[in-house]
Each structure stands twice: as structure tokens, then as C-alpha cells.
Chain A
Amino acid sequence: MTVTLPVSADPAALTETPKDIGRWRRLPTKAKAGTVLLGVFVLAAIIGPQVTPYDPSYQNPSPGLSLLAPNAAHLLGTTQSGQDVLSQLLVGIRLTLELAVIVGAVATALSVIVGVSAAFLGGFWDDVLSLASNVFLVIPALPLLILLLGYLPQKGQTATIIVLSVLGWPWGARVIRAQTLAIRNRDFIAASRETGERTWRIITFEIIPNEVSLIAASFVNTVLYAIGASVALAFIGLADLNSWSLGTMLYWAQSQQALQLGAWWWFAPPGLAVALIGTALVLLNTGMDELGNPRLRDASKVAKIGGRRLHPADPTPVLQAAAPRGALAGFLHSFSRRSLLEERGASGPQAGIAQPGGER
């Protein structure tokens, strides 16, 4: 509120850093971390199944190979029936990611269609679509998913994708509708209307480009939801139990009492994989949040002046010239906390910051 000036946080700075610092470096740390982490798993998903050391379904009947702890031959140990956990994991990452991304794409597309339509059609249709979105938002997803999948004779990948997409669009639809309404009332849309541009063109070329970040965030959220839901469903047995997704691995681990038998290598890797992928997505999302909301970004950068953190309630700090000191006094002073607050390289003599708690 106090800022009436065009304060620019654009790090395409003046003299010190060159303009071509690159858009990557300018991203918030969270987004970068999330992308890197996600990249690892995407890579695993792509090449994983090609590099599995064993066939994940191969059940080795020899009892000596059952439930082996991680060793040289089986980097992540074996299951109850002698299957290699690592191979299953690699296949599982791809299956799970595949499913989640497809669901994400379909559900996000649906939510964009519903959201934009509701915003543009207005009136009765808007009410109907909004009501539908809200109803499906408030009805808990998992029980409904269980019901839907439970009745299906085939609980395969395709069925799961369809079912998850059907319940995955309401959240995004609501958000997109709100944003579209806001944009729709802006002047440049009215201008387009005045010049006779047709509605579908307005939507495609003016509105959607302005919502790209929102759609991206919605996509990430939907993928997150899809992973969580599919893993949970598989865990209680509502999936193709002959395939190796991360969720089914957990199902088998649980049903074969891996925990009680102490076979942590069976359930830990798939669970960790899910957790890490989820973390990567959350980081990505938060990072994108910060990109869009300058207040969050500034907050994460930590208000620091002269090396001291500032809280919102602190009075505006005042720059002060440090009192001139003799050699001994200066030496002793260098041990104090205050000396840490003096700015380096500030123009003029040593400058210190007056703490709100200090006075001359």
C-alpha cells in the first residue's frame, strides 16, 4: 500500500548482471527444485522399463529368493514370490505417471471447457454448470471412485483413467470460470467485441492465453490428485492387480504382510516414489504460485536489509553511519552482533543499520 512507485522486481537489472541472465535463473527456487525432481522421475518413466534388470512379473519359485533384502543381485530386494522390486518400481513409475498425466490432460481440458463455457454462456447454463461443479467438489471423491470402479468388471488402466477424469474436473473448472469472468469484464475484451471479433476467436486468442498459468497450475494439481487417488484405489484393491503400478505394488506388499515380515524394501520404494513425485509437483505448484503472486515471492525472498530479517511490524529501518571507532574498539566491535549488520560496500564510510530496538 505504501508503494506508489513503479517498483520493479524484475531482475533484468541495470548494470551488474547482464540482461541475458536467462529465464531459468529467475525462477523461484521452489519451482526449479520441483522441476529437477520431477525430471528425474520423468526420465525414469521413459527409459525405466527398458532398463529393468529382470522381468517384473517373473516369479522365481525358489524359496531362497523370496523376500531377500537388498543385495548386489537385486538392488531393492525381492518380493514374497521372488520378483525383483527394482524392476517393478521402474515399470511402476511409468505406469503411474502415464496414468496421472493422461488424467491430468483430459480433466484439465474438461475443466477449461466447462469453466469458460460457464463464464461465457452466463445465466441459466452458468448456474447449472456451477452447481454441478460445486456438487462434485463437495461429494468426497474417493468413495465415489470406489463405487464406480467397484462395479466395473474390468478395473484396468483405461477404466481408471476414465473414472478419475470424470471426477477430476470440478476444481479446475471453478477456478477457470472465476478467472474467465474477471477477464471477460476487462476492457480489452469489450474492445474486441466492439470490433466484431467472434466469440470463439476471443476465447481462443485473447482469453486462454491470459489464463495459461492458471491452466498449468490446474494441470499440476490434477496430476497430483490423480496420483493420490490411483494409488489409494490400488491400495485397497481397485486396480488391475496384475499390472505393476506403484499402487498395486503397495497393495501386494500390504496383503502379503510385508510390514509384519519386516520386508521394508518392498513397500518403502514405491511409497517413497509416490511421495517424491508428489513433492516435486507441490514444489512446482508453489513455485508457480510465487511467480504469479508478487507478495508471496517477496516473502519467500525474505525481507532482509543489511542482513537482518524484517518483520512486517518493524518500523522502517534507518541507515546510519557507524560511529567512528579506534582500532581496539573496532576490533572488539567486530565480535558483536551489530557489526554483522553493517553493510558492506555501501557508498561512503562504514554504514550501519539502526535496529528498531537500538538508539543512540
Chain B
Amino acid sequence: MPFIIRRLVFYLVAAWVALTANFFIPRAMPGNAVQDIMSKFPNLQPSAYKALEAMLGVGHPGSIWHQYWSYLDDVFHFNFGTDVTEYPARVSTLLFETIPWTLTLVGSATIIAFVLGTGLGIVAGWRHGGWLDRVLPGLMFFQAIPYFFLALILLEVLAISLHIFPLGQGYAGGLVPGWHWAFIGSAIYHSLLPAFTIVITSVAGWMLQMRNVMITTIGEDYVLAGQAKGLPNHRVVFTYAARNALLPQLQGFGLALGFVVSGAIVMEIVFSYPGIGLLLLNAVTSNDFPLMQAIFLVITFTVLLANLIVDLVIVFVDPRARTREAAR
């Protein structure tokens, strides 16, 4: 318990740092952001400009503290302001439309990749020297490819040339989103290639990591003791070696989550997938600051939450973490 509490406090601190960074960055940057927006979007209502100024702290709309508190207040009410590019849509609306797509795609693909990679890593670690090890340099290559580049290649080969997968989008055009089979089926079909991309790129990393941890763990005394006890092989591999190797692997997973999520989001752009990625691209291209800031917060909070879940899993797996305040 103390471990989880400590982690929770830590994540709250990190969340607060993110919020504060989000607040101060626009104010700290050189240049006049509002002017940029004005020049790009001359057709907005004056109230929109006012809101922007307030958000960006231009024109002394009150003391810093006052701004800060009203900012925090806004965030907690999911009020991220009005969007610029899709004016007058509210940012929160846009976010709520796109988040589910990203969550399902990236979430499931990452978990699949992790489980698959870890499993392969266990085998590679136990039977080191086998064909899995020979494949290793090739896998390292995949690990080094940027997600979106692999997406480009796969899209080119599998979708454009071979017509196996659709060219992009979240679902076939003309379908109305809703909870009916035609839509869901189409959505799944369209998510296969992006998911496949994520899995291929990240599996190598997980497998490599687990393999190395397994090899180190197998050298431990208790694994030898397990063999000396005459236990069946599967018991030694899984309960004695793998279960202990899983702990550093899970910790690595938590640390890598930020990267995985970021990479996946950029990859969405290639597929024109209706998730946060596209939103992000538009926001950047058009200097849509409210949107950019909101996306940052959303992604950050999601990653923090995911890390907390990973910590819960660690506590579940490692009895030592339950009692001690194990520092990660």
C-alpha cells in the first residue's frame, strides 16, 4: 500500500508540473502568439481574440496568480477554450470526438505488442542461441524505424499496391458512426494496418528487453535451485525465471509508454486516422494554440494514468513492492 500511495502522489506532482508548464510556456515564449493567430485567422469574433489573449496572458488581464487559478479552474471543468481552426467549436468537443479512436487503437496495439514481445522474449531468453536470436539484428532494425515511416512503407505495399487494406481513414466513407455492426466492422478493418504497424515496430523492443532480463535472471541462484529441485521445466521457466524477469520488464514498459504513445499518434497522420494525431497536425500547422495545449494535457494525463496502472500490476506481481516503498 505505501508503495501505491507514494506513486499516486508522484503522479499528482507530475500532473501539476505539466499543468503549470502548460500555463507558463505561452507566457514565456518570445514573439506574440496572438498576433500570429490574428494574422492567420482574421475572421474570428472579437470575443475570440479576447479569450485567446486571456488564455495566453497577453495584455495584462489580471495578476499572474489570478490567471493561474482561473486556468486551473478551467482545466478541471474540461474547459479548454474555443478552437481556432474549427471555430466556433469548443476544443473539448473536438477532443472527445477523437480520443476514443486513439485510445482503442493505440491502447490495444500497445498491449498486444507488449504481451507478444514479452512472450517471445521469454522464449528467446530461455533458448538463447536459437533462431530467435539470429533474427535479433533484424528486429533491432525494426525497433529503430520511426513508426510513421514504417506506416508509409506498409501503406504503400499493403494498401496501395496490393489492395489488402484500406487506404486510410477510420472507417469507410459514407458510413454513419454508431453502434451497429457495419460500422464497427469497418472500423476494425480500418484499424488493422495501423495496429499492425505499431505492433511490428514495438515488438522488437519488448522482446529484446525481456530476452536480456531473462538471461540475467536465469543466472540467479533461485533458478538453479528450481532445477536442482527437479521441478518440471515449465515451472522453472515461468514461475521462477519469467515471473521475476517480468518486474524490470514492467518498469521498462512504464517508462517507454510516453514514447510509444507519441510515436503512435504521429503515425496516425499517415493513415489519416481520425484520432488525436490528425488533430495535432492541424493544430501545429495553423498555430492553433488552444488545441495544442489541450492535446498536450490530454496525452500527458493519459500516460500518467497508464503508468499508475502499470504500477498496480507491479504491486500485484511483486510481493516485495507491497510492503516496501520500492523506489522505481
Asked whether any CB of A lies within 8 Å of a CB of B in the complex, the reply is: yes
B3-23 contacts to A (CB < 8 Å): 10-11, 13-14, 17-18, 21-22
**A93 to nearest B CB, angstroms?**
15
Interface centre among B130, B140, B223, B261 (most CB of A within 10 A): B140
Contact of A299 with B by CB under 8 A: yes
Contact B292 A150 (CB under 8 A): yes
B197-225 contacts to A (CB < 8 Å): 208, 212, 215-216, 218-221, 223-224
Contact B36 A311 (CB under 8 A): no
* Minimum CB distance partner of A148 in chain B: B25
- How would residues 287 to 311 of chain B score, 1 for a CB under 8 Å from any chain A CB and 0 otherwise? 1010011011001100110010000
Instruction: Please pick, from A140, A147, A150, A283, the residue contacting B303 in the complex, using a CB distance under 8 A.
Output: A140
* Minimum CB distance partner of A268 in chain B: B153
* Minimum CB distance partner of B224 in chain A: A1
Contact A283 B137 (CB under 8 A): yes
Contact B146 A139 (CB under 8 A): no
**A254 to nearest B CB, angstroms?**
7
Instruction: Please pick, from A137, A238, A250, A300, the residue contacting B149 in the complex, using a CB distance under 8 A.
Output: A250
A230-287 contacts to B (CB < 8 Å): 231-232, 235-238, 250, 254, 259-260, 262, 264, 267-268, 271, 274-279, 281-283, 286
Task: Report Cα–Cα, A224/B304, bound state, in Å.
Answer: 24
Contact of B67 with A by CB under 8 A: no
Contact B269 A271 (CB under 8 A): no
- Residues in A with CB closer than 8 Å to B126 are 311-313
* Minimum CB distance partner of A232 in chain B: B266
Contact of B33 with A by CB under 8 A: yes
Task: Report Cα–Cα, A217/B269, bound state, in Å.
Answer: 32
Contact of A135 with B by CB under 8 A: yes
B144-163 contacts to A (CB < 8 Å): 144-146, 148-149, 152-153, 155-156, 160
Task: Report Cα–Cα, A143/B13, bound state, in Å.
Answer: 18
A-side interface residues, number (CB < 8 Å): 62
Interface centre among A135, A231, A274, A293 (most CB of B within 10 A): A135
Instruction: Please pick, from B25, B160, B167, B221, the residue contacting A151 in the complex, using a CB distance under 8 A.
Output: B25
Interface centre among B11, B144, B257 (most CB of A within 10 A): B144
**B200 to nearest A CB, angstroms?**
13
**A292 to nearest B CB, angstroms?**
12
- Residues in B with CB closer than 8 Å to A30 are 137
Contact B146 A283 (CB under 8 A): no
Instruction: Please pick, from B26, B153, B258, the residue contacting A139 in the complex, using a CB distance under 8 A.
Output: B258
Contact of B30 with A by CB under 8 A: yes
Task: Report Cα–Cα, A30/B236, bound state, in Å.
Answer: 30
Contact of B29 with A by CB under 8 A: yes
Task: Report Cα–Cα, A202/B263, bound state, in Å.
Answer: 41
Contact B144 A313 (CB under 8 A): no
Task: Report Cα–Cα, A152/B29, bound state, in Å.
Answer: 6
- Residues in B with CB closer than 8 Å to A140 are 257-259, 261-262, 299-300, 303
**A111 to nearest B CB, angstroms?**
15
Instruction: Please pick, from A139, A260, A267, A276, the residue contacting B17 in the complex, using a CB distance under 8 A.
Output: A139
- Residues in A with CB closer than 8 Å to B299 are 140, 143
Of A76-84, A302-310, A327-335, the one contacting chain B is A302-310
**B257 to nearest A CB, angstroms?**
8
Contact of B227 with A by CB under 8 A: yes
Chain A residues at the B interface, C-beta cutoff of 8 Å = 1-2, 30, 33, 131, 134-135, 137-144, 146-148, 150-153, 224, 228, 231-232, 235-238, 250, 254, 259-260, 262, 264, 267-268, 271, 274-279, 281-283, 286, 289, 293, 295-296, 299-300, 302-304, 309, 311-313
Interface contacts beyond A138-B254, A153-B36: sample of 6 additional A-B pairs, CB < 8 Å, sorted by A: A1-B224, A138-B303, A144-B300, A150-B283, A151-B33, A279-B144
